[in-house]
Structure 1
């Protein structure tokens, strides 16, 4: 990882911060900046030129959010964000999308995002897809991670499907060697989970056999967070190293 790495992240809701990778990147002396879409004035359209110049970003991390990527009428900045993403990705630069972020990358590249048949909220198992090419990002055969979604992405054209489970088939994908899209939340920490629970007004809209209660989530042991955090750190190193090659 190069010194003085310029990392930019897109944040869509107030209660969903940078998560576990903040400390990891700070250990590598990264310079971290953010675009907080939730804080933008609602009465003034977002100009794409107000976003960072793509040349000034070494790594982009796109966080989650409660909105749908399809809800451009209520969140007009989504259209601008997707335009910027296409510009950034066309240059072959490294990017990681987490939950809504993974959906945004997929949708910006023409893949559909739709309602998943079942909602997922809580700790669930995910498995590596069989017969993934050897050069791709390496995942454990089975791992447990935090889920928090009602929608799912289609795998973008030209991308490689990396992970799945029985509830939501498309859990992770890779584009080239510089882009990784996650449906789950590998960045979650005890602190960010607390923020999720305090700020997510959509919690009451989740139900079903794959939805854990607020009480269950509050009792999450600290060991639950480790594997996802490690996967995300490895993902950051992967997209940076492969882009530098």
Structure 2
């Protein structure tokens, strides 16, 4: 049974909608927490590594030293073409591991808005998303790493997703967020939302409107990526 290792940075930003497709594909799921039990050896050895989001920055290693170990382990995985999926902070850490710049965006992007898929994005698993709004929840952004394929943009963030071959996928937005659990996000990020002046009732309404429509598509995106990755793996 293949093992999917889930690297969490905060407890409520987890696999969400992606857990079901992984279990359906026969993955045993193990979760580790950054700074607690996410030992680099475990990050390197997993059959699939899923790097979840969080409120810290990829360039905060001086304040959170374990980030340096994560980045090195991710770099080793990508060099070995080991299956890797990054979500928000996870995508930023992947970009950093590949030598790309990660930095504050022009403004925080918090809420639901559509993507603009690149030509490559339209030929990728993200094609299923089309012009549906997805959940954005970030202040940082990244440059597309050398050797990666740019997949998507948004009105406020030019670089929303990239892939590396068929073995790695980095998503700046939160396709995995389970809309039935949005209150965990609103509580966990209460300070950030208040500082950004986000209208919570409006965000709840948008989540109730767009979340259920996107949920089956989000699962489909992951399933398609897993199937494509499996089909392209040697042997």
Quote the offset at 1:158 in angstroms.
Answer: 1.0
Per-residue deviation, 1:105: 0.3
Structure 1 residues 165 and 13, CA, compared in 2 at 3 Å: closer, same or farther? Answer: same
TM-score (norm 2): 0.87
> What is the aligned residue count?
229
Query: Are the equivalent residues in 1 in contact too, given 2:43–2:73 (CA < 8 A)?
Result: no
Alignment match, 2:32: 35
1:242 aligned residue: 232
Partner of 1:214: 200
Is the helix fraction higher in 1 or 2?
A: 2
Give 1:80's aligned residue: 69
Question: Do the aligned partners of residues 32 and 76 (structure 1) sit closer, same or farther apart at CA in structure 2, a change above 3 Å counting?
Answer: same
| In structure 1, C-alpha distance between the alignment counterparts of 2:133 and 2:122, rounded to whole Å | 22
The Cα of 1:35 is off from its aligned counterpart by: 1.7
Match of 2:223 in 1: 233
- Cα 1:64–1:162 change in 2 (3 A) is same
1:137 offset after TM fit, Å?
Answer: 4.3
Find the aligned partners of 2:84 and 2:138 in 1 and give their Cα distance: 21
Cα distance in 1 for residues equivalent to 2:92 and 2:43: 22
Q: Establish whether residue 58 from structure 1 lines up as the match of residue 44 from structure 2.
A: no
Does the C-alpha gap of structure 1 residues 138 and 184 become closer, same or farther in structure 2, counting only changes over 3 Å? closer
* Consecutive unaligned residues in structure 1, runs of 5 or more: none
Is contact 1:188-1:228 (8 Å) kept?
no
Q: TM-score, normalised by structure 1?
A: 0.84
The answer to whether the aligner puts 1:123 opposite 2:118 as a matched pair is no
Match of 1:190 in 2: 179
Match of 1:146 among 132, 135, 138: 135
Cα distance in 1 for partners of 2:202, 2:162 equals 29
Q: Which runs of 5+ in 2 are unaligned?
A: none
Task: Summarize the Cα distance change of 1:98–1:199 in structure 2 as closer, same or farther, 3 Å threshold.
Answer: same
**SS of corresponding position for 1:166:** coil
The SS at the match of 1:85 is: helix
Superposition deviation, residue 159 in structure 1? 0.7
| CA–CA separation in structure 1 for the residues paired with 2:142 and 2:92 | 5
Larger mean CA deviation between 20-29 and 165-174 belongs to 20-29
Q: Secondary structure in 1 aligned to 2:30?
A: strand
Which residue of the other structure, out of 19, 24, 34, is the alignment partner of 2:21? 24
Tell me how far 1:47 sits from its aligned partner: 6.0
